[in-house]
Chain A
C-alpha cells in the first residue's frame, strides 16, 4: 500500500512562490509552514512580512498576515502580540531588513523579551534590489556596491547577529541553522518548531537565523550556491544553539 511520505504543506497557499529558481527562501517557507501545521497553531498564526524578496510572503503562508515597512517587522509584531496575546506571531526578515535598516527595532524587541518568533534569512546580500552589499556580506565578497570585494577597513566585518543577540537577556531561544542539504533542512525545521513551541509557552523572544542562498545575485547555479553556503558562509556564521533558556 502506498503511503504519503512528503507532500506540499497545508501551511502554504496555492499561490506560486515569487522566488528565483532554487532560492532557499522557498525551503524555509516550507519549514515554517510545516512547523505551524505540526504544532497545530496555523489557525492562530500571524505572519509579519518584511521588505526584501520575501515582501510577498504574506501571500504564501496560509494564515493571517500583515506586511511591515522596511525593517519594522519586530515593532509591528510587538504591537500584534500585545493586542492578540493568544495568537502566534512571527516575522520573516532578510539580512538587509533585519540587520541593517531594522537592527534597532529587532534589538529592542529582543531586549524587551517580546514573546514573538523571528525567522531571519541571512543570504549575505540584498536580493530584491539587485545584489548590494549587506551587513552580513563576507570579507572579499563581490557585490554591486563592493565590486572589488568587501574589505574590513572600508566596510567593517560581517555582523554576526546570533552571537550579538545571545548576549541579550530577553532572548529565550536562538539558533543558527542552514539548509544546504537534507540533513540540515531537517535540523532547521526542528529549530523552527522549538522556537514556536517556546512562544506557545510564553517564554520570550525566539529567533532562528537561517544561513540561506541567493543564487541569482551570487552569480551561481542553485547547486553551487548551496555548496558556497557550506564552504564559505558556515565558517563565518557557525551553526548551533546560541541561547536556550529552557536548558539553563
Chain B
C-alpha cells in the first residue's frame, strides 16, 4: 500500500505548477489535454504508488486544491 494519497479539487486549480515543482518524488504532472471550467490545465498523478504523503504539494498550493491522506 502507498504511504500517501492525494486528491484534487480540480475546479479550484489554476494550473500554476507549484505542486509539480515541489513534489520530492516527481509524480505530479500537468495534463495538457484536460481543462477545468476556468480553463486551466489540471494536475494528475503519474505513479500514485510512489506518493510518500509528505504534503509538500498541498503546502505550496495557494488555492487549497489538494487533500493529502496518509496510511496509518
Contacts and interface: CB of A to CB of B under 8 A. Distances in A.
Interface string B34-54: 000000100000000000011
A24 B62 contact: yes
A226 interface: yes
Q: Which of A12, A19, A22 has the most CB of B within 10 A?
A: A22
A17 interface: yes
B62 A4 contact: no
Interface residues of B, number: 30
Interface in B1-55: 4-5, 9, 12, 14-18, 21-22, 40, 53-55
Nearest to A30: B64
Given A3-B69, A22-B18, A222-B16, A185 B55 contact: no
A190 to B, nearest CB: 13
A241 interface: no
Interface residues of A, number: 32
A21 interface: yes
Interface in A189-248: 215, 221-223, 226
B18 A6 contact: no
B5 A2 contact: yes
B62 A6 contact: no
Given A22-B16, A222-B17, A223-B18, A17 B62 contact: yes
A158 interface: no
Q: Which of B5, B18, B71 has the most CB of A within 10 A?
A: B18
A40 interface: no
A185 B60 CA distance: 8
9 contacts: A1-B71, A2-B69, A3-B70, A5-B4, A6-B67, A16-B12, A22-B16, A26-B63, A226-B21
The 9 A-B residue pairs whose C-beta atoms are closest, nearest first, are: A26-B62, A22-B16, A21-B14, A8-B64, A21-B16, A6-B58, A6-B68, A6-B55, A2-B69
Given A6-B58, A8-B9, A30-B64, 19 more contacts: A2-B69, A2-B70, A3-B71, A4-B68, A4-B69, A5-B53, A5-B55, A5-B68, A7-B58, A9-B64, A22-B16, A22-B17, A23-B62, A27-B60, A27-B61, A30-B62, A185-B59, A221-B17, A222-B17
